[in-house]
């Protein structure tokens, strides 16, 4: 039996998730309202996955908080997002989150995603995979550069390194330590990367980097 922990700000969302999971033979080890409340709660509760509902949160800043918490490095995370945020959620998968689903996903789909994620698979909603139809009538993923203009200025080798580390969820301090440079220099590289990619945040920069094939997953 799969055992999960629930993180959701809304008491109604926590209760709803708990009820639908228990009804489908998924064990709920516990639930909290915020990521910070997980401290110490997972030590004594055998947990296969953590279901995090981001409803009501600004997706990019919330994702940054999840990455900074280190939870995706230690646990299988299934993230529920507002449907409008699905298009930008590739960054979540690039940061180690195993599944990203709309928060109006059906109970059966959520359970199927949990089963797949705990089996070692990545789970994406169809809205995250733009499809084209080939000459044989089958849906296929577009080419790597399709629909993407070339960068006006290419990333430097150092910027590529920093972007890869951003995708791994590393904060500036750890990036600086790994590259033996100052945090100020890291901030300079991050700003340059965002400018070249046309990104408004670190999270968007990672998402755009993934789309352009600049980030290795």
Query: pTM here?
Result: 0.62
How many distinct structural domains can be found in the chain? 2
In a domain, 140, yes or no: no
Are residues 30 and 116 located together in one domain of the fold? Answer: yes
In the chain, what is the greatest distance between 2 CA atoms, to the nearest angstrom?
A: 55
pLDDT tens track for 2-57: 999 999 999 999 999 999 999 999 999 999 999 989 888 887 778 899 999 998 88
Last residue of a domain, one of 128, 144, 165: 128
**Cβ atoms of residues 21 and 46 within 8 Å:** no
Look up the CATH number of the domain holding residue 198.
Answer: 1.10.10.10
SS3 call for 114: helix
- Alpha carbons 174 and 47: distance in angstroms, whole number: 28
In a domain, 150, yes or no: no
In a domain, 43, yes or no: yes
Q: Pairing between strand 139-140 and 132-133?
A: antiparallel
Nearest Cα to Cα of residue 130 among 150, 147, 113: 147
> Which range marks the domain in which residue 58 is found?
3-128
Share above pLDDT 70 across residues of the chain, in percent, rounded to a whole number: 87
Are residues 80 and 27 located together in one domain of the fold? Answer: yes
Work out whether the CA dihedral 90, 67, 95, 110 comes out positive or negative: negative
H or E element in which residue 90 lies: helix 90-94
User: At residue 127, does pLDDT exceed 70?
Assistant: no
H or E element in which residue 77 lies: strand 76-81
User: At residue 91, does pLDDT exceed 90?
Assistant: no
Look up the CATH number of the domain holding residue 110.
Answer: 3.40.50.2300
In the 8-state DSSP scheme, what is residue 48?
Answer: S
Are residues 93 and 167 located together in one domain of the fold? Answer: no
């Amino acid at each position: 039996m799969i055992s999960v922990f629930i993180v959701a700000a809304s008491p109604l969302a926590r209760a709803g998730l708990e009820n639908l999971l228990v009804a489908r033979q998924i064990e709920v080890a516990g639930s909290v309202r915020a990521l910070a409340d997980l401290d110490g709660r997972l030590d004594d509760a055998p947990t296969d996955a953590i279901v995090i509902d981001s409803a009501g949160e600004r997706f990019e800043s919330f994702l940054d908080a999840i990455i900074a918490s280190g939870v995706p490095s230690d646990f299988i995370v299934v993230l529920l997002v507002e449907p409008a945020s699905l298009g930008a959620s590739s960054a979540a998968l690039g940061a180690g989150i195993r599944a990203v689903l709309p928060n109006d996903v059906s109970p059966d789909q959520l359970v199927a995603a949990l089963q797949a994620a705990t089996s070692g698979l990545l789970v994406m909603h169809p809205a995250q995979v733009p499809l084209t139809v080939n000459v044989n009538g089958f849906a296929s993923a577009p080419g790597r550069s399709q629909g993407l203009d070339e960068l006006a200025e290419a990333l430097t080798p150092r910027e590529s390194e920093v972007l890869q580390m951003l995708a791994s969820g590393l904060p500036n301090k750890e990036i600086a330590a790994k590259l033996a440079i100052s945090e100020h220099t890291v901030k300079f590289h991050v700003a340059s990367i965002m400018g070249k990619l046309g990104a408004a945040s670190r999270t968007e920069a990672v998402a755009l980097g993934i789309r352009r094939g600049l980030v290795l997953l």
